[in-house]
Chain A
Amino acid sequence: MTATLTPTAGPRGSASTPPDAHRRRRQRPTVGGFAASTFLWLYAAISIAPLLLMVSNSLRTTQDMAQNPLGLPLPPDFTSYQKAWVTASFETYFFNSIFVTVASVVLSTAVSLLAAYAFARTRSKMFTSLEGLFLSGLMLPVYLAILPLFFLLDSLGMISNLWSLILVYAALGIPFSTFVLAAFFRQLPIELDEAARLDGAGPFQTFWRVHLPLVKPAIATVIVFRFVPVWNDFFYPLILIRDRDSYTLPVGITRFFGEYQTDWATLFAGLTLATIPLVVLFLIATKQIVSGLTAGMSK
């Protein structure tokens, strides 16, 4: 069940390379092979062109775009970034988003590590059903419970407070994080715990000194993978954040689209600013993202 997440082999295990190479040699000269790579390149273009266009247009002026919708950014013009960042408050939204995302992912990973460790190292009905309860969160459309959540946070005086988002996102991260981490802890041999106990370590020391260093790859997967939905989420801040200074990027963007409707260059720059952190994250942590995406798969 967790072969895609074993500590040693990623989803693209190296074992499959030699047969692939063999087959590639056999297929290269055919017409089908040519059609296949045409299709792959064509779809890559369809997939990426809108994003490239977004970046390219963010470097042009609105006037230029109106005259020539398909032009290139020559020479590149960065004034719209300055406008989005300063005049349209993207600076505020950006740092709010960073704060909320980092804090909630750290909190959610920390509590999930503790819980997952307990799930892997106990065997009683109570813990099995608790784990099942957490897992059910993966399939439940929990956002539909927004009204009671709103009233709860309102009664605590936490509406428009970034900590309300942080706590909600931390809770929302628990199902996925415990699922991945518990699978990892289960693969660590029980002898580790016994040896640690003989050396006089308590349960928390065993967890902290022995297990934690060994599950680092899973922690990386969980952190990187939870970053994406939290950074992108639009629904919760739309409802829970009423004060402009506390907007995160997605809600900031909706307000910004209402106000800068005709200022195309600034709109493209704003969209690009909201996207850059994710693309950077994806390029430096492709492996964690891919293993996070395939975490639910069996075999």
Chain B
Amino acid sequence: MSVIAVPKVRSKRVTTGVTLSRRTGMVFVLPALILFAVFIAYPLFTALSYSFFSWTGIVRGEFVWFENYVTLFTKLPYSTDIPNAFLHNILLFVGAMVFQNTIGLGLATLLHRVGRFKQFFQTMYTLPYLVSPLVIGYLWSLMLSPLFGPVNAVLRAVGLDELAQPWLGNPQTAIWVVVIVTAWQWIGFPVLLYGAALGGIPQELDEAASLDGASAWQRFRSVTLPLMVPAIGTVSVLTFIGAMEAFPIPYALGGSQGNPAGATDVLSLLFYRTAFESGASNAIGTSSAIATLLFAFIFGVAVLFTVMLRRAERNLT
């Protein structure tokens, strides 16, 4: 849940030289390598293997090939919970994409053009992104409270009484609350990254188009937007990863059960619940199968998208 940036494939620089022997270099790398190996690499490989065994509590049983995976798609509650949770993850992704590529891109473009108070606005937009998502989730759960939540109070104050309702108690509205709160918190990040990308576009291009009589919209549409494709692509990959890993906001808004009635359930919650709260005897086998599928899906799509993006970028230049 700490994915921050997608690194570019590093281009070899001629200026970089060699001053460390392999042995000395190894001494420098070793502390990091040990930490990485013990707490990241080893658990990752082991987690994968867990899903191929049958478990009784914490005792590993026999090797069962793909039986745990078959269970996920054929046995209740998994066969209904997984599509339900997956759909919600996709909604989180789509919601964030729509929000950041309309309002977010608009804010970044205006900030770049207007320029006044730029840093102040950036700070305002980025603050929710830095606050703990768990705090954000709980904060909104209080704000949307049916009894004395400020949101309903505002709706009543402006005469929209019929809209005031228990937002998080109604399965129809609860998932949209999660989607909007997630997109609202996330947007500071796209605004910053789009801003950095806009700053990297040469001014002359815009000015040349302006001299040719292009309107502000035409300049945005035909000059700025195509040059923004790499930034939008990078942000989209990160948005995808973030949406698939969603955990604290749904947990704060709907608890570990995805209340009401699974309406706010997401895959990470399902994994957590299966592993630590279900009490099923094969909890480890089943939850590891969920984790492995989710892992493969996130990593697979992220890599595929990044490769496509690199190719598109190369074609642009």
Q: Which residues of A contact B (CB under 8 A)?
A: 1, 3-4, 11-13, 16, 19-21, 23-24, 27, 32-33, 36-37, 39-40, 43-44, 46-48, 50-51, 53-54, 57, 65-66, 69-70, 108, 110-112, 114-115, 117-124, 126-127, 130, 133-135, 137-149, 151-152, 167-168, 170-174, 176, 178-179, 186, 189-190, 193-194, 197, 203, 206-207, 225, 228-229, 231-235, 238-239, 249-250, 253-254, 257, 264, 267-268, 271, 274-275, 278-279, 282-283, 286, 289-290, 292-299
Residue of B39, B127, B143, B302 near A167 (CB, 8 A) is B39
- Contact partners of B159 in chain A: CB under 8 A: none
Q: Mark B101-128, 1 if CB is under 8 A from A, else 0.
A: 0010011001101111111011111111
What's the least CB distance linking B50 to chain A, in Å? 6
* Residue among B2, B140, B150, B268 having the largest count of chain A Cβ atoms under 10 Å: B2
- Contact partners of A39 in chain B: CB under 8 A: 106-107, 110
What's the least CB distance linking B313 to chain A, in Å? 8
Number of cross-chain contacts by CB at 8 Å? 336
Number of interface residues of B (CB under 8 A): 117
Beta-carbon contact of B5 and A138 below 8 Å: yes
Q: Is B247 an interface residue (CB 8 A)?
A: yes
Beta-carbon contact of A140 and B44 below 8 Å: yes
- Contact partners of A122 in chain B: CB under 8 A: 18, 20, 22, 25
Please classify the interface of chain B as helix (H, G, I), strand (E, B), loop, or mixed, using the class held by over half of its residues: helix
* Known A176-B5, A203-B19; contact A145-B40, beta-carbon cutoff 8 A: yes
Which of B27-35, B68-76, B79-87, B170-178 participates in binding chain A? B27-35
What's the least CB distance linking B232 to chain A, in Å? 11
Docked pose: A274 CA to B137 CA in angstroms: 13
- Contact partners of A174 in chain B: CB under 8 A: 32, 35-36, 40
Beta-carbon contact of A176 and B119 below 8 Å: no
* Residue among B32, B115, B216 having the largest count of chain A Cβ atoms under 10 Å: B32
- Contact partners of B148 in chain A: CB under 8 A: 65-66, 69, 264
Q: Is B200 an interface residue (CB 8 A)?
A: yes
Closest residue of chain B to A189 (Cβ to Cβ) is: B15
Beta-carbon contact of A27 and B113 below 8 Å: yes
Beta-carbon contact of B29 and A130 below 8 Å: yes
Residue of A13, A112, A126, A144 near B22 (CB, 8 A) is A126
Docked pose: A105 CA to B274 CA in angstroms: 31
What's the least CB distance linking B139 to chain A, in Å? 5
Can you report 10 residue pairs joining A to B where beta carbons are below 8 Å apart?
Answer: A40-B107, A51-B128, A66-B148, A70-B150, A70-B157, A124-B25, A152-B42, A235-B1, A264-B142, A268-B142
